[in-house]
Structures are given as structure tokens and as C-alpha cells.
């Protein structure tokens, strides 16, 4: 276990005004600092671990009372960081909290860096690296699904998978090592095809995990969807329908929306940024022209483009231009106003965008909206549907490490199949073990750690 010499302190609750604000102090001097700052109402130090005490926080210099507070001590190793930790529940005002933090620093602590409490938890073996990363995902979760995904990572489901893959690889490595020993005695024994199968089995396992990344990333980070089309097709009506509220102005006058409208919502548990835009057409009006210019900018950074057509009118040059300009993007073709007599045949659409099935909807009355959201979900997460217990990747760093491990194992597999020296295969397998070790932080270097923890908030 690594012992951190200094004691760190931070306000652990968000900036601003609240009922309660918490100062967290961790390190060898935590308890002593508590002793100096906190005067319990009824008992005296030493206080019991994991109990809550009522008392006053006092200024070190003057003895003046700064706040009434509750204090708890969590002695090592039974604390979040694995070190002696105290938490002071003050009143949640910024001035109070700053004053108490200031005293804590005067009493012998220093201000914590972002994520430093969690970094210490990791360094003290309370969490592995994948679990530590899950802490920030949990705090930043944008949906219930994002939250349960982060929780499963915090509980160690990625880590357990990594451990089990690593122990299978270590077993394979042990077999290879015996063969290497024979080679040294000038007896040439090639690795068996069973050994190759065992490697292949691990590659398949990793492939399966990698296939969950698109779902995991979308659940964690969400995606942006833009609605585009010529004027008056019902883009704003669709935004309002998906949002479930009258957010955008809807009129029968083409060119109603001039600026773009951006709203956040959840679609099947996925955080979505939905953007309604100005209708695309040839215009001389400068305001509208600026709006249309913006549409193209927004489209370039969107994950999914919903191209909306008006099924009650024939396809026009403007529709074709929108379709043409979005080729190569992830698109959904939706035909609106399905409640009116149709002027568009599915065939006409097939000619315009091959391979994309149009979805008929009525933004005004809600028909076809479940099919549209299902399509969005399908595009967002791919065809692979995972269950709660599956390992679902959401962290790019993990994905890259799994990919590197898989590539090395593929090389090792071929080496074994070709009956080449077992040493070669052993070399690649060892390296792939290191990449898997990176995920849980067994072999991770200091720069990577700093990068990871610097994305945390202060006080966590
Ligand atoms: N019958 C019917 N009318 C609809 C439907 N969706 C929209 N409309 C009507 O179509 C007209 C235009 O709707 P908007 O939502 O403003 O269309 P838009 O694409 O945002 O138009 P611009 O902002 O001008 O580009 C309005 O009169 C809507 O009531 C639908 O599903 N059925
Ligand atoms: Mg509009």
C-alpha cells in the first residue's frame, strides 16, 4: 500500500447555496485537524470512527465560532480513500464553506486537486482504475441507463471480465513456457491446436465486449440528432412531438423557423440533443439565408440526420437537394403528414435514397413516432442488444486497450497455428496481458493517471 504523506482538503459539495455543504479532509493529519477545528457539544476526543458528532467549528486564531456542524471520522482503511478521513457537514453557504476550508488548510492540510480523493482510493487499492473511472461516469450520468451502466462498472463488472481474461491468458502462457523449456533442451514441440483454440476463444470474448461499445458510448455520452428538410414539412412539429411540449413555433407559413432550436431529451433512455432547423430553400432574405447556412454547419457535427418530407405533396427539387447533400451521413428518412392523402409512393423514395426505408409519421397526431424512436435507437446503439448483466464498454480508453490486446492475440494465434516458435506467441500474449492490465490500472503510467483524474471534479 502506498502511503500519501500529505493531507488534502476540499469542499465536496457543488458551488452555490444549499442546505448542507461538506468539507472533506483525507490523509494522516485528518483526525488531528478535526480535533483542532471541531469542538463537540457533548463528548471529547478521541471520537469514535463512523459516528456523527454535533458541535462547533472554531477559528484557530481567535477561537470564534464559524459554524455549527456535524463531524464524522472514518479511520483507515474503512474510508473512501483508504486513509483517515473526516467530513464536516456545515451549513451550505459559500462563505461559510470557504472559511472552514481555510481553517482546515491553516491546520495542516492542502487544497486537493481534482479527483485526488478518488486517485488516493485507487492508489490505496480501494478501487481499480476502471472502477475509479466509473465514479466520474456515475456523477456525470445523464440518464437512468447511464447511471446503471456506471454503477455496474463501479461494482467491477469490466474489471472482473479483465481478470478472468487475464487468468485464462496466464494459463495459456504457462503451457507455452513449458514448450519453451523443451525447446531449450533441443526437443521441438509445437504448440497444439487446442492452444490455438484457447487463444481464439479469448479473441472471441474480446470481440463480443468490443461490440457493446457503440451502445455503451451512446448511453454514456448521448448523441445529437438534427431535423432537416424543406420549409413547412413539419420539422418544428416533430421537435415538439418528440419533446412532448410546444417548444417551437408552428405555422402553415413556410420559413417559420429561422434560427435553430436545440433541446435535450431522453429517447429510450439515451440522452439526445435534438435540433430543429430552418427549412432549406433558395432564399434572398438575408435572415433566412443565415439560418440555412447554420443548418449545414449543424448537420456536419450531428450523429443522426432526420430528413423530413411532406407526404401530402410531391417530392420537389428542394427535397432532392437535402437528400443529396446528406449522402454518407447516418440518416433517417421520415415522411410526415401521414394523416393526409399521400402524394408520395414508397417507390419514389426508393429511387431517391436506396437502402433506406422511409418511416411514415404524423407529427401532428403522433402516428409512427414509436417506429421513429425505435429507428433512432437502432442507429444509435447498433443491432447488438445487451442485458443488464453483460459487460458493456463505454470508455474509449478501455476500448482501445481491448483492441490492442485482441490484435496481439490474433498475431499469437497465427504464430501458434503456423507452428512457429512458442517464444514468439508467448511474447505477444505477454504484451496483450499488459494492455488488459492497463484497463484496471495494473500497468498504467503516471501520465495516464493524471489525465484520467484531472477530468474529475474537486472534492471527489
Ligand atoms: N396534417 C398535418 N399537418 C402537419 C403535420 N405536421 C405539421 N403539420 C402542419 O404543417 C405546417 C408546418 O409545420 P411546421 O412544424 O411549422 O413545419 P416546419 O418544417 O418547421 O416549417 P419551417 O419552420 O417553415 O421550415 C403547420 O401548419 C403544421 O400544423 C402532420 O403530421 N399532419
Ligand atoms: Mg419550423
Q: Alpha helix locations (H) across 211-255? A: 213-221, 235-243
Query: Whose alpha carbon is nearest atom 1 of ligand 1?
Result: 337
Side by side, which strands form the sheet with 65-74? 38-40, 52-58, 65-74, 85-92, 18-26, 8-11, 110-111
CA of 334 to the centre of ligand 2 (A): 15
Ligand closest to Cα of 313 equals: 1
339 lines ligand 1 (CB under 6 A): yes
Centroid of chain to Cα 59: 42
Query: Whose alpha carbon is nearest atom 26 of ligand 1?
Result: 252
CA of 298 to the centre of ligand 1 (A): 21
Side by side, which strands form the sheet with 304-310? 261-267, 270-276, 223-228, 304-310, 331-336, 359-360
336 lines ligand 1 (CB under 6 A): yes
Query: Whose alpha carbon is nearest atom 12 of ligand 1?
Result: 232
Coarse DSSP helix, strand, coil percentages of the chain, rounded to the nearest 5 percent: 45, 15, 35
CA of 9 to the centre of ligand 1 (A): 56
Which three cell numbers mark 394? Answer: 463505454
232: alpha, beta or left? (left if phi > 0; alpha if psi -120 to 50): left
Domains for the chain: give ranges and CATH numbers.
8-126 (3.30.1360.120), 139-212+391-441 (1.20.120.430), 218-381 (3.40.50.300)
What parts of the chain have a pLDDT lower than 50? 1
Best residue among 229, 230, 237 to mutate for probing ligand 1's pocket (most ligand atoms within 8 Å of CB) is: 237
Give the residue from 155, 114, 28 showing the smallest Cα distance to 79: 28
User: What is the three-class DSSP state of 235?
Assistant: helix
- Residue 303 near residue 322, CB atoms below 8 Å: no
| Alpha-carbon span 102 to 60, nearest angstrom | 10
228 lines ligand 1 (CB under 6 A): no
| Alpha-carbon span 22 to 9, nearest angstrom | 11
- HSE-CB at 15 with a 13 A cutoff on CA atoms is 2
CA of 159 to the centre of ligand 2 (A): 48
Give the model's pLDDT for residue 387. 72
Ligand closest to Cα of 250 equals: 1
pTM, rounded to two decimals: 0.83
250 lines ligand 1 (CB under 6 A): yes
CA of 336 to the centre of ligand 1 (A): 9
Residue 90 belongs to what H/E stretch?
Answer: strand 85-92
| Omega before 46 within 30 of 0, i.e. cis | yes
Burial class (CB in 10 A: 0-12, 13-18, 19+), 269: middle
Give the model's pLDDT for residue 328. 87
Give the model's pLDDT for residue 448. 86
Give the model's pLDDT for residue 450. 87
Give the model's pLDDT for residue 380. 86
283 lines ligand 1 (CB under 6 A): no
User: What is the three-class DSSP state of 247?
Assistant: coil
Ligand 1 atom closest to residue 276's alpha carbon, by position in its atom list: 20
| Alpha-carbon span 325 to 299, nearest angstrom | 10
Give the model's pLDDT for residue 120. 94
395 lines ligand 1 (CB under 6 A): no
Give the model's pLDDT for residue 350. 63
Give, in order, the Cα–Cα distances in Å from 338 to each of 56, 160, 251, 313, 361: 68, 50, 18, 11, 6
Amino acid at each position: 500500500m502506498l502511503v500519501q504523506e500529505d493531507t488534502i482538503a476540499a469542499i465536496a459539495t457543488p458551488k452555490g447555496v444549499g442546505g448542507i455543504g461538506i468539507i472533506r479532509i483525507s490523509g494522516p493529519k485528518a483526525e488531528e485537524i478535526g480535533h483542532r477545528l471541531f469542538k463537540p457539544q457533548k463528548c471529547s476526543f478521541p471520537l469514535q470512527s463512523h459516528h456523527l458528532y454535533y458541535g462547533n467549528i472554531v477559528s484557530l486564531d481567535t477561537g470564534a465560532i464559524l459554524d455549527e456542524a456535524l463531524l464524522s471520522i472514518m479511520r483507515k482503511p474503512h474510508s473512501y480513500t483508504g486513509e483517515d478521513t473526516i467530513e464536516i457537514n456545515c451549513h451550505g453557504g459559500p462563505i461559510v464553506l470557504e472559511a472552514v476550508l481555510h481553517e482546515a488548510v491553516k491546520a495542516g492540510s492542502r487544497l486537493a486537486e481534482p479527483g485526488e480523493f478518488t486517485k488516493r482510493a485507487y492508489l490505496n487499492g480501494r478501487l481499480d482504475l476502471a472502477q475509479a473511472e466509473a465514479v466520474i461516469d456515475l456523477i456525470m450520468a445523464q440518464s437512468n441507463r447511464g447511471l446503471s451502466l456506471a454503477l455496474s462498472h463501479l461494482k467491477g463488472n469490466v474489471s472482473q471480465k479483465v481478470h478472468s481474461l487475464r487468468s485464462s491468458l496466464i494459463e495459456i502462457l504457462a503451457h507455452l513456457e513449458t514448450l519453451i523449456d523443451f525447446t531449450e533442451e533441443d526437443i521441438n514441440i509445437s504448440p497444439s491446436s487446442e492452444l490455438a483454440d484457447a487463444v481464439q476463444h479469448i479473441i472471441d470474448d474480446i470481440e463480443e465486449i468490443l461490440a457493446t461499445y457503440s451502445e455503451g458510448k451512446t448511453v454514456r455520452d448521448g448523441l445529437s440528432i438534427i431535423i432537416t428538410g424543406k420549409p413547412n414539412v413539419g420539422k418544428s412539429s416533430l421537435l415538439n412531438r418528440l419533446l412532448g411540449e410546444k417548444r417551437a413555433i408552428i405555422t402553415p407559413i413556410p420559413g417559420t423557423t429561422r434560427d435553430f432550436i436545440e433541446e435535450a431529451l431522453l429517447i429510450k433512455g439515451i440522452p439526445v440533443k435534438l435540433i430543429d432547423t430552418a427549412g432549406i430553400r433558395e432564399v434572398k432574405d438575408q435572415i433566412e439565408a443565415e439560418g440555412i447556412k447554420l443548418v449545414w454547419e449543424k448537420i456536419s457535427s450531428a450523429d443522426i440526420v432526420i430528413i423530413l418530407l411532406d407526404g401530402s405533396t410531391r417530392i420537389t427539387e428542394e427535397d432532392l437537394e437535402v437528400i443529396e447533400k446528406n449522402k454518407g451521413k447516418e440518416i433517417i428518412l421520415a415522411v410526415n403528414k401521414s394523416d393526409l392523402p399521400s402524394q408520395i409512393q414508397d417507390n419514389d423514395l426508393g429511387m431517391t435514397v436506396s437502402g433506406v426505408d422511409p418511416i411514415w409519421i404524423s407529427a401532428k397526431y403522433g402516428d409512427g413516432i414509436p417506429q421513429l424512436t425505435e429507428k433512432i435507437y437502432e442507429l444509435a446503439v447498433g443491432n447488438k442488444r445487451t442485458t443488464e448483466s453483460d459487460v458493456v464498454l463505454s470508455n474509449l480508453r478501455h476500448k482501445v486497450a481491448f483492441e490492442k490486446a485482441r490484435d496481439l492475440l490474433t498475431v499469437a494465434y497465427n504464430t501458434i497455428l503456423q507452428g512457429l516458435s512458442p517464444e514468439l506467441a508467448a511474447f505477444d500474449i505477454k504484451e496483450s496481458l499488459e494492455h488488459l492490465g492497463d484497463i484496471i490500472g495494473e500497468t498504467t503510467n503516471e501520465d495516464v493517471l493524471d489525465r484520467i483524474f484531472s477530468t474529475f471534479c474537486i472534492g471527489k
